[in-house]
Structure 1
Amino acid sequence: MDAQTTRPVVVGYDDSPEGEIALEWAVREAERLDRPLKVVVARGMLWSTAPGFGPAAPWPEDLDREVVVRAKQRVTELSTTVETVTESVVGTPAAVLVTAAEDAEMVVVGRHHHSLLGELVEGSTSAQVVAHARCPVVVVDRHAGASTRAPIVVAVDGSSPNDAALAFAFDRATQLEAPVVAVHAWTLDVPDTFDTAWLRPEHIAELEQHHRSVLDEAVAPWAAKFPDVELRTVLRRNLPVEAVLEQSEGARLIVVGSRGHGGFVGLLVGSVSQGLLHRDRPCPLAVIHAEHREA
C-alpha cells in the first residue's frame, strides 16, 4: 500500500458516552474504507507541582492505562479486522488530535454538549479541531440514519472552496450508494415585512432565479462526474444553518465546507460549519476544508 491508502482514520477517545459513539463510528468507517484506525487518548498538559519538583501528569497513570485498555477492548468488540493503534499522548485533546490529523484520512471526534456561552468561554475540542485540522473532521454525537436510503446532505454556497465539500459528499455517496441532497440558502438584507416597500416582487423573483443558477451550476460538474448518484437540489429562502437542518432529519451525514474560520472568529462571522457544530443535529457532521479534495 502507498501512503495514500494507509492514511489512518483518527479518533479521539475519552471513555465518555460521546467518546463511545465517536469510536464506534470511526471503527465502522475504518472498516468500510479498509484503512487503519488510530485511537488517541489525550492525557492533558503536564503541570508543575511545586518549586524543586518535576512536572506531574494531569491524571494518574493507572487511570490513563485503564482508558487505553478500555479503548482497545471496545475496538475488538466492534471489529476483528481493523488494524488498530491505540496511544496515550500528553497534551490537550484538541492539540493532540490536530497533530494526529496531519497524515490522516479523517479525524473523528465526539462532542460534549455545552451551552454556546460555555463553549465561547471554555472552548470546545470539536470546534478547535474543526477549525485547525487539515483533513476532513467528522463530529459524531449521535448515530446516523439507519436506512440504506438515508441521504448525504451537503451545504452549497457556490464558491470555489465549497467544491471540496461537494467532492467529499459525492464520493461518499458513490461508496455508500446513497442519494445526495444539495442545499443552497439565500436571504435578503431586509426583514420580510419590508419586502414590498424595498423590493418589487419581480426583483425578488430575479434574486431567487439567480440563486437557483448558483446551486445548479455548483452541482452540475459533480452530477456529471457521478451520474449514478441520485441528486436532489433544494433552494430555500432561509438562513443556511436552518435550511440545512431542515433537510437533515433522517440523513446519514451532513457535509459542509470550511474556509478556516474557527473559535471566536467563526462564531462572530457566522460560519455555517461552526453554526451547525453548535446546534442539535440529527446526524454526524463532516467539515471539509477548502484545500481538501477527495475526488
Structure 2
Amino acid sequence: MSTQTPRPVVVGYDDSPAGELALEWAVREADRLDRPLKVVVARGMLWSTSPGFGPAVPWPEDLDQQLVARAKEHVASLSPRCEVTTESIVGTPAAVLVTESDDAELVVVGRRHHSKLGELVEGSTSAQVVAHASCPVVVADRQAPSGADAPVVVAVDGSAANEPALAFAFERAASVAAPVVAVHSWTLDVPDTFDTAWLSAEHIVELESHEQKVLDDALAPWVAKFPELEVRKVLRRNLPVESVLEKADNAQMIVVGSRGHGGFVGLLLGSVSQGLLHRDRPCPLAVVHAERSES
C-alpha cells in the first residue's frame, strides 16, 4: 500500500522585510497544519548579454546559495521541528510560485507596498499569485492577533464557488478555537438617491430579507458541521470590500473566495480578492479558489 506525500506549505523568500514576514508566518502555519515547509528562492529570468553570447543569470549563484542558507537558518531558529526543504529556481517569483501551487497545500507570499498605479503598471507578485495559483494563497504582509478572541472573517456570497472559502475559514477557526465572522453584502445597481424613485421601503425590506436568507442558507451546513464554533452573521448593504474591512479590525485573517479571473481581467476590472489585496488591511488575506485539482 502506498502512502501519499503530504502537500507542503510553500513560501517565496527573498530576504526583504516582506519576505521575512512571509517566512515567519509560513513556518507557524506549517507547524499548525503538521505539514512540511518548502522555501522557494526565485533567481530571476535568463537574459541574453548581447547577440551571440548566450543567456546569463542576473542573480549570481553564490548570492543565491547564501540566501538559501539564511532561509534554512531562520526556519531552524523559529521551529527546530519543522521539516523544511529549500530550492532555488530560475524564473520570476510569481511564475515560480504559481507553478509550485500545483502541488502545494498552501502558498504564502509577502507583499511590498507600492502605490496602486505602480502595482498596476509594473505588476505585483502577490497579485499575480493570488490571481493564478491553483491552491489557497495567503498574503502574509501583516502581523495579526492569534488569540482565541481574534476572529476569522470570511466573505459570503451564497454561490457554489464560495464554498471552498467557507471550508477554509471554518476549518481554520476550528483548529484555533476562534470565532467566525461571516460577512454578506448586497447593493442595488442604482445610486442611493434613485431608491425612492422606483423602490418602496417595503420592497427594500423584502430585498434585505432575501439577502439574509442567502447568508443563512450558505452558512447552515458549516454551522451544523462545526457546532462548537461561535458564528457571527453580518449583513451589510454596502460594497463587499468595505463590508469585510468594517469587521476586520481585530481579525487574525480575512478569507475570500476567487473565481479565478486572473491577468488583466482581475487587475483592471477588479474583484473582491484584488480589492482587499490592495487595501490597508489589519491582518493577512487568504484567497481560496473555486476549484483545484487533486492528485
TM range (shorter): over 0.9
Asked if structure 2 preserves the Cα contact closer than 8 Å seen for 1:123 and 1:263, the reply is no
Counterpart of 2:160 in structure 1 is 160
Taking the aligned partners of 1:188 and 1:140, their CA distance within structure 2 comes to 33
Secondary structure (helix, strand or coil) at the match of 1:3 reads coil
Deviation per residue, 1:121-145 (Å, 9 max, x gap): 1111111111111110000101112
Counterpart of 1:3 in structure 2 is 4
Structure 1 runs, 4 residues or longer, greater than 6 Å off: none
Structure 2: gaps spanning 5 or more residues: none
Taking the aligned partners of 1:86 and 1:292, their CA distance within structure 2 comes to 24
Task: Name the stretch that deviates more: 232-241 or 108-117.
Answer: 108-117
Residues paired across the two proteins, number = 293
Secondary structure (helix, strand or coil) at the match of 1:257 reads strand
Taking the aligned partners of 2:3 and 2:107, their CA distance within structure 1 comes to 20
Counterpart of 1:176 in structure 2 is 176
Secondary structure (helix, strand or coil) at the match of 2:160 reads coil
Counterpart of 1:227 in structure 2 is 227
Q: How does 1:239-258 map onto structure 2 within 5 Å?
A: 239-258=239-258
- Residue 213, structure 1, aligned to residue 217, structure 2: no
Alignment-mate amino acid for residue 195 of structure 1: D
- Residue 124, structure 1, aligned to residue 131, structure 2: no
Counterpart of 1:284 in structure 2 is 284
Alignment-mate amino acid for residue 247 of structure 1: K
Give the deviation of 1:146 after TM superposition.
3.5
Give the deviation of 1:194 after TM superposition.
2.1
Taking the aligned partners of 2:266 and 2:51, their CA distance within structure 1 comes to 40
Identity of aligned residues (%): 75
Deviation per residue, 1:118-169 (Å, 9 max, x gap): 1111111111111111110000101112332100000000001101100111
Counterpart of 2:69 in structure 1 is 69
Taking the aligned partners of 1:293 and 1:282, their CA distance within structure 2 comes to 31
Asked if structure 2 preserves the Cα contact closer than 8 Å seen for 1:164 and 1:292, the reply is no
Asked if structure 1 preserves the Cα contact closer than 8 Å seen for 2:134 and 2:293, the reply is no
Taking the aligned partners of 1:61 and 1:170, their CA distance within structure 2 comes to 43
Secondary structure (helix, strand or coil) at the match of 1:69 reads helix
Give the deviation of 1:292 after TM superposition.
4.5
Secondary structure (helix, strand or coil) at the match of 2:286 reads strand
Task: Name the stretch that deviates more: 184-193 or 160-169.
Answer: 184-193
Structure 1: gaps spanning 5 or more residues: none
Alignment-mate amino acid for residue 79 of structure 2: S
Asked if structure 1 preserves the Cα contact closer than 8 Å seen for 2:174 and 2:229, the reply is yes
Taking the aligned partners of 1:154 and 1:103, their CA distance within structure 2 comes to 25
Counterpart of 1:94 in structure 2 is 94
Secondary structure (helix, strand or coil) at the match of 1:101 reads helix
Counterpart of 1:143 in structure 2 is 143
Taking the aligned partners of 2:123 and 2:270, their CA distance within structure 1 comes to 17
Secondary structure (helix, strand or coil) at the match of 1:173 reads helix
TM-score, normalised to structure 1, is 0.96
Secondary structure (helix, strand or coil) at the match of 1:145 reads coil
Structure 1 residues 139 and 2, CA, compared in 2 at 3 Å: closer, same or farther? Answer: farther
RMSD of aligned Cα (Å)? 1.5
Give the deviation of 1:67 after TM superposition.
1.3
Task: Name the stretch that deviates more: 55-64 or 76-85.
Answer: 55-64
Secondary structure (helix, strand or coil) at the match of 1:184 reads strand
Give the deviation of 1:50 after TM superposition.
1.6
Deviation per residue, 1:170-213 (Å, 9 max, x gap): 11111111110000001111222222122111111111111111
Give the deviation of 1:293 after TM superposition.
9.9
Alignment-mate amino acid for residue 17 of structure 2: P
Counterpart of 1:15 in structure 2 is 15
Counterpart of 2:274 in structure 1 is 274
Taking the aligned partners of 1:248 and 1:113, their CA distance within structure 2 comes to 20
